[in-house]
């Protein structure tokens, strides 16, 4: 493939869900039709079946489907007894849903910085933030990579902390013999359409091996009712739709293969991006090996790159390559959370990452040719920005 061919080839989408769904289209349509014919749209048969299957896949005994990942965090923490007067530690480098979930319980969020190489919560910083009021820690398994279970468990045991995992981006991720969702008391998952296991709309789940936690979430998601018209909790309406459960149950047997394909794609990215380290382009480090499920593949455009992130992103867009930024503003600098009292400079690594990170196309079925085009385009833009000629085309062999 010539340089010109690479630049002017078909667009590379950021995510291609249509290509992922096409091979199982008939299965999906049948699953939807079964629910329609049965008519059990709210807390129907498929919900309980999917809850059981997904919990088992996570290595725990209980799953409770809710309306979205944010509700899974809020209701899950509430079911674990977290509330007013409690402090909960979480990373500044996460989607705001993590923080919103903590705030909805009435607890006080305590943000900490992240590791600049992995973007995961800095557990040493978390330890320094512990006070007599600290009740829980919410590790975020960001981009599909788990926080170290052994270090988490050691910290929790030392300080008597509850571990509640935010596993919204880590479906079936593994590390140190643990699966995402099986480390702590409970965990939250999101089934937003672009997730590794995505619904055709919003959806979420709390997984746990604690029966009382599961029972409480079941009550909280359904107006606080332990049985019809008998309300023991101040609950809400947050139920996973039966149609979405049917779709997710149909997709679940394919998830391990899809995750393996993402990991394969990431290894290609790693290999072909390696020469660009001398130009200041660095992938976020993988400390999970094959257990990383790569919901996102993220690079850092460091400050000595010679080509800033905006120029790189716009240049890629001009070549038909779609990218994202996850996330451009850390939680503590979002306008909605100024009342928490944090200031610029409080979490320098999180703030620096928000200025540097760029998510590249990643989805099951992305081809070697597409990955080659992405990397070649990055080379072209970076080298041209410092006055060098186009690099030679990558040898995919």
Report the candidate in 328, 203, 147 with the shortest Cα–Cα distance to residue 138.
Answer: 147
Residues of the chain with CATH 3.90.1150.10: 255-385
Residues 164/192, Cβ–Cβ less than 8 Å? no
The pLDDT value recorded for residue 394 is: 56
Cβ partners under 8 Å of residue 116, min gap 6 = 349, 352, 353
Please count the other Cβ atoms lying within 10 Å of the Cβ belonging to residue 88.
26
User: Residue-wise pLDDT tens for the chain (397 aa)?
Assistant: 455 555 556 899 999 999 999 999 999 999 999 999 999 999 999 999 999 999 999 999 999 999 999 999 999 999 999 999 999 999 999 999 999 999 999 999 999 999 999 999 999 999 999 999 999 999 999 999 999 999 999 999 999 999 999 999 999 999 999 999 999 999 999 999 999 999 999 999 999 999 999 999 999 999 999 888 999 999 999 999 999 999 999 999 999 999 999 999 999 999 999 999 999 999 999 999 999 999 999 999 999 898 999 999 999 999 999 999 999 999 999 999 999 999 999 999 999 999 999 999 999 999 999 999 999 999 999 999 887 655 555 554 4
* Alpha-carbon distance values, 169 to 84, 228, 280, 292 (Å): 28, 34, 27, 10
pTM of this prediction?
Answer: 0.95
Report the candidate in 239, 248, 244 with the shortest Cα–Cα distance to residue 219.
Answer: 239
Assigned CATH class of 255-385: alpha beta
The pLDDT value recorded for residue 306 is: 86
Residues of the chain with CATH 3.40.640.10: 21-254
Q: What is the 3-state secondary structure (H, E, C) of the chain?
A: CCHHHHHHCCCECCCCHHHHHHHHHHHHHHHHHHHHHHCCCECCHHHHHHHHHHHHHCCCCEEEEECCHHHHHHHHHHHCCCCCCCEEEEECCCCHHHHHHHHHCCCEEEEECECCCCCCECHHHHHHCCCCCEEEECCECHHHCCCCHHHHHHHHHHHCCEEEEECCCCCCCEECCEECCCCCCEEEEECCCCCCCCCCCCCEEEEECCHHHHHHHHHHCECCEEECCEECCCCCECCCEHHHHHHHHHHHHHHHHHHHHHHHHHHHHHHHHHHHHHHCEEECCCCCHHHCCCCCEEEEECCCCCCCHHHHHHHHHHCCECCECCCCCCHHHCHHHHHHCCCCCCCHHHHHHHHHEEEECCCCCCCHHHHHHHHHHHHHHHHHHCCCCCCCCCCCC
List, as own/partner pairs, every contact residues 334-339 make where C-beta atoms lie below 8 angstroms and the sequence separation is at least 24, other chains included. Answer: 334/96, 336/96, 337/96, 337/99
d(CA 116, CA 364): 27
Beta bridge partners of 179: 174
The pLDDT value recorded for residue 84 is: 98
The pLDDT value recorded for residue 213 is: 98
Tokens of 199: 């619904």
Beta strand 357-360 with 297-301 is antiparallel
The pLDDT value recorded for residue 397 is: 40
Assigned CATH class of 21-254: alpha beta
The pLDDT value recorded for residue 8 is: 56
Residues 293/171, Cβ–Cβ less than 8 Å? yes
Q: Tell me the angle at which helices 211-220 and 69-79 cross, rounded to the nearest 10 degrees.
A: 120
d(CA 250, CA 78): 30
Cβ partners under 8 Å of residue 260, min gap 6 = 290
């Amino acid at each position: 493939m010539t340089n010109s061919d690479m630049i002017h080839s078909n667009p590379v989408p950021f995510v291609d869900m249509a290509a992922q769904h096409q091979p199982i289209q008939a299965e999906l349509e049948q699953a939807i039709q079964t629910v329609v014919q049965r008519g059990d749209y709210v807390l129907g048969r498929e919900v309980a079946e999917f809850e059981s299957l997904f919990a088992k896949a996570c290595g725990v005994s209980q799953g409770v489907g809710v309306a979205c990942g944010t509700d899974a965090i809020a209701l899950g923490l509430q079911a674990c007894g977290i509330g007013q007067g409690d402090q909960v530690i979480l990373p500044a480098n996460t989607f705001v849903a993590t923080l919103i979930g903590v705030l909805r319980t009435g607890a006080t969020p305590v943000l900490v910085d992240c590791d600049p190489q992995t973007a995961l919560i800095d557990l040493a910083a978390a330890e320094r933030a512990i006070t007599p009021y600290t009740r829980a820690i919410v590790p975020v398994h960001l981009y599909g990579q788990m926080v170290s279970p052994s270090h988490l468990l050691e910290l929790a045991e030392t300080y008597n902390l509850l571990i509640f995992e935010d596993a919204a981006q880590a479906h079936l991720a593994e590390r140190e013999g643990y699966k995402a969702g099986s480390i702590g008391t409970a965990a939250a998952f999101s089934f937003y359409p672009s997730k590794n296991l995505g619904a055709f709309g919003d959806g979420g789940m709390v997984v746990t091996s604690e029966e009382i936690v599961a029972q409480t979430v079941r009550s909280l998601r359904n107006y606080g009712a332990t049985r019809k018209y008998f309300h023991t909790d101040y609950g809400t309406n947050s139920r996973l739709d039966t149609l979405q459960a049917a779709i997710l149950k149909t997709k679940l047997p394919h998830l391990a293969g899809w995750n393996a394909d993402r990991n394969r794609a990431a290894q290609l990215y790693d290999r072909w991006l390696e020469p660009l380290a001398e130009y200041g382009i660095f992938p976020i480090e993988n400390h999970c090996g094959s257990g990383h499920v790569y919901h996102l593949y993220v690079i850092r455009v460091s400050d000595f790159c010679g080509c800033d992130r905006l120029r790189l992103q716009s240049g890629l867009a001009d070549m038909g390559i779609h990218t994202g930024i996850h996330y451009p503003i850390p939680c503590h600098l979002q306008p909605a959370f100024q009342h928490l009292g944090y200031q610029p400079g409080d979490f320098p690594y999180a703030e620096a990452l928000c200025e540097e990170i760029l998510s590249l196309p990643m989805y099951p079925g992305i081809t070697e040719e597409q990955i080659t085009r992405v990397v070649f385009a990055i080379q072209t833009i970076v080298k041209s920005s410092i006055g060098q000629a186009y690099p030679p085309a990558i040898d995919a062999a």
